[in-house]
């Protein structure tokens, strides 16, 4: 009986040890993975870029709109010229829009063969909700190009996106998340807090992207406070609660982030062309 008892205990301990060993090797699947790094071309001087996958991307340089179909190996210059391009949004390989801070905006529905130019305001924040339907902001006013011809006034915005022609999200001057379900006529506000920490967003290093009323994300670089580096905040309840992913291991330096319309790809262009353009992809669930 003692021999059996000792053998049983030994087997039990062995099984427990194996289970612990296998359990210790299991890690939570990372939320974001590195899709690619694109070396910065100092001659092109890319300032902002938005990839939709590992191949197609649209970028703005110091005086040109650039398009790549091979993951940034080569870039083609598009016709519009400006000295102050700012803001990019891509619907697909045919439809994309680019804003400026001094000469209106440009959008295309044929992959950049032709562009429509608009000069209602000088937008630095651009959302393309459908081909030829652009919603823009100059950080002080939001304008739905397709429907209205007068700005919708609001306080200074640090980031902006439109899900469709009536659902808008933005980050306010106070670093709160604001949203409108009636094309900017009325607004609601969400205070962003993660474990009692309230992040402060810089307009040059922050991007907001919602894909529906409930699901959205904010990509930002934090240079102050207890947490410094790159982070992604995610919500699935309309900004009532947020979770945080640390993406600093992928990119250490500050830069300008943009998010694809489906929320699956993040592109960060380092400032001053120091380092690589980093493209992240959301891990499959």
Domain layout of the chain by residue ranges: 29-282
Q: In this predicted model, which residue has the larger pLDDT, 253 or 262? A: 262
pLDDT 10s digits, 144-201: 555 444 444 445 678 889 999 889 998 988 889 999 998 888 888 999 999 888 898 9
Q: Which long-range contacts (CB under 8 A, 24 or more apart) does 101-110 make?
A: 101/138, 105/134, 105/136, 105/145, 106/65, 106/80, 107/132, 107/134, 108/78
> What are the CA-CA distances from residue 122 to residues 110, 113, 137, 145, 170 (Å)?
23, 23, 8, 12, 18
This prediction has a pTM of 0.83
Question: Phi/psi class of residue 7: alpha, beta or left (left: φ > 0; alpha: ψ in -120 to 50)?
Answer: alpha
Residue 20 pLDDT: 35
Residue 204 pLDDT: 86
- Return the closest-CA partner of residue 158 out of 87, 216, 103, 227: 87
Edge-to-edge, what's the strand order for the sheet holding 177-180?
Answer: 157-162, 168-172, 177-180, 188-190
Residue 130 pLDDT: 81
pLDDT(284) > 70: yes
- Return the closest-CA partner of residue 107 out of 98, 148, 146, 58: 98
Tokens linked to 158: 């640090």
Residue 25 pLDDT: 31
| CATH superfamily of the 29-282 domain | YVTN repeat-like/Quinoprotein amine dehydrogenase (2.130.10.10)
Helix (H, G, I), strand (E, B) or coil at 22: helix
Tokens linked to 106: 């440009």
Residue 118 C-alpha from the chain's centroid = 24
Looking at mean pLDDT, say which of 23-32, 56-65, 121-130, 139-148 comes out highest. Answer: 56-65
CA max distance for the chain: 92
- Return the closest-CA partner of residue 190 out of 224, 162, 151, 216: 216
The DSSP result for 82-123, as a single string, is -S-EEEEEESSSS-EEEEESSS-EEEESSTTSS-EEE-SS--
Residue 18 pLDDT: 32
Q: Mean pLDDT across the chain, nearest whole number?
A: 81
Q: In this predicted model, which residue has the larger pLDDT, 54 or 84? A: 54
In this structure, how many other beta carbons lie within 10 angstroms of the beta carbon of residue 175? 17
In this structure, how many other beta carbons lie within 10 angstroms of the beta carbon of residue 228? 11
pLDDT 10s digits, 107-148: 899 998 888 887 666 666 788 888 878 777 765 566 655 544
């Amino acid at each position: 009986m003692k021999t059996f008892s000792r053998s049983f205990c030994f087997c039990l301990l062995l099984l427990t040890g194996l289970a612990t060993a296998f359990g210790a090797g299991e890690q939570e699947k990372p939320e974001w993975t590195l899709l690619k790094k694109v070396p910065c071309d100092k001659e092109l001087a890319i300032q902002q870029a938005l990839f939709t996958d590992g191949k197609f991307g649209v970028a703005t340089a110091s005086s040109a709109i650039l398009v790549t179909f091979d993951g940034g190996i080569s870039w083609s210059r598009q016709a519009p010229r400006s000295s102050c391009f700012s803001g990019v949004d891509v619907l697909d390989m045919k439809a994309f829009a680019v804003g400026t801070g001094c000469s209106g905006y440009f959008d295309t529905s044929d992959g950049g063969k032709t562009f429509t130019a608009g000069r209602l305001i000088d937008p630095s924040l651009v959302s393309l909700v459908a081909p030829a339907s652009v919603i823009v902001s100059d950080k002080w006013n939001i304008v739905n190009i397709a429907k209205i011809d007068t700005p919708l006034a609001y306080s200074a915005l640090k980031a902006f996106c439109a899900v469709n022609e009536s659902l808008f999200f933005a980050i306010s001057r106070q670093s709160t998340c604001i949203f409108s379900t009636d094309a900017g006529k009325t607004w609601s506000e969400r205070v962003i807090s993660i474990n009692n920490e309230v992040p402060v967003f810089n307009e040059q290093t922050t991007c907001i992207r919602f894909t529906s009323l409930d699901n959205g994300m904010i990509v930002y670089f934090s240079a102050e406070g207890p947490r410094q580096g790159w982070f992604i905040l995610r919500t699935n309840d309309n900004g009532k609660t947020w979770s945080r992913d640390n993406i600093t291991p992928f990119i250490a330096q500050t830069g300008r982030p943009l998010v694809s319309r489906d929320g699956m790809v993040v592109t960060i262009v380092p400032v001053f062309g120091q380092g690589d353009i980093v493209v992240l992809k959301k891990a499959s669930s």
